[in-house]
Amino acid sequence: MTTEKTYQFYGIDAKTELRIGIIAGINALLIMAICPFIYLKFFTKQDNIPIGIFWLIILLALIWVSVIMKFLGKKYTKLWELRKLSDKLIIKYGEIIHEILLDDITKVKVLGSTNFRYLTIVYKLEAIKIRVGASSLTPFSRQGDVQKIDSFIRQELIPYLNKNFTKKDKHPFLGIYIKN
């Protein structure tokens, strides 16, 4: 009998990450378009903007984007559940459940840095893209969630990947794994 462990953490999928990025980008563009207009219309009689005001507008846009991303990251984050059985991987995200036979997996990407992880599992004609992050540009998880996905990858996924996949780079943990 195999022992199974369930790994739970908060994160988002790639489509949600793209949606958050587009919303934040549109907000930044609006601020950078509206603020100079307001400055020229109400605060000066000149036809140009001083460089200091220009940098202040950029700083304002960055602060606003950071706040928007933090808010949207908390709003759209959902609980991921990952469980590896002897012959399959069960992934649950919100109401969506994927049961993937380990033999059907063709590629696994483990990317990221200290504060975020991108885990992509490609099987048949589908790809599951898990995004977990605790930095200012990926504000949809906590550092503990990054550690939980790391422990799943190290304890459950890497031993299987090392036996059945070829690694495409030299990093000891992160990388792209292609099926042999």
In tens, the pLDDT along 44-58 reads: 777 777 888 889 999
Clarify whether residues 120 and 160 are in a common domain.
yes
Structural tokens at position 164: 């059945």
94 shares a domain with 166: yes
Asked if residue 110 has pLDDT above 90, the reply is yes
Please tell me whether residues 97 and 19 are part of one structural domain. no
Measure the CA–CA gap between 180 and 174, rounded to whole angstroms. Answer: 18
Q: What is the mean pLDDT of residues 78-107?
A: 94
Cβ-in-10-Å burial (0-12, 13-18, 19+) of 102 comes to middle
Question: Which of 116, 172, 180 lies closest to 149, judged by CA?
Answer: 116
Q: Which alpha helices (H) appear in 1-121, and where do they start and end?
A: 14-38, 51-76
Q: Which of 27, 7, 16, 11 has its CA nearest to residue 134?
A: 11
The answer to the question of residue 124 being in a domain is yes
Residue 1 lies in a domain: no
Q: By 3-state DSSP, what share of the chain in percent is helix, strand and coil, each rounded to 5?
A: 45, 35, 20
Predicted confidence at residue 65, as pLDDT, reads 92
Given this model, what pLDDT does residue 72 score?
93
Q: Which residue has the higher pLDDT, 95 or 169?
A: 95
pLDDT computed for residue 1 by the predictor: 43
Q: Are residues 110 and 169 in the same domain?
A: yes
Percent of the chain with pLDDT over 70: 98
The residue whose two tokens read 């599951």 is 128
Q: Do residue 46 and residue 117 come from a single domain?
A: no
How confident is the model at residue 117, as a pLDDT?
94
Q: Are 167 and 122 in a shared domain?
A: yes
Q: Among residues 22, 48, 74, which one ends one of the domains?
A: 74
Residue 90 shares a structural domain with residue 164: yes
Q: Are residues 38 and 95 in the same domain?
A: no
- Check residue 153 and give its pLDDT: 93
Give the pLDDT score at 3.
Answer: 62
Strand pairing of 78-84 and 116-123?
Answer: unpaired
User: Do 119 and 145 belong to one domain?
Assistant: yes
- Whether residues 116 and 173 share a domain: the answer is yes
Confidence of residue 167 (pLDDT cuts 50, 70, 90): confident
What percent of the chain has pLDDT above 90?
Answer: 68
Number of Cβ within 10 Å of residue 28's Cβ equals: 17
> What is the average pLDDT across 61-87?
92
Give the pLDDT of residue 12: 95
> Do residues 85 and 161 share a domain?
yes
**pLDDT tens, residue by residue, 144-160:** 999 999 999 999 999 99
Domain extent at residue 149:
6-12+76-179
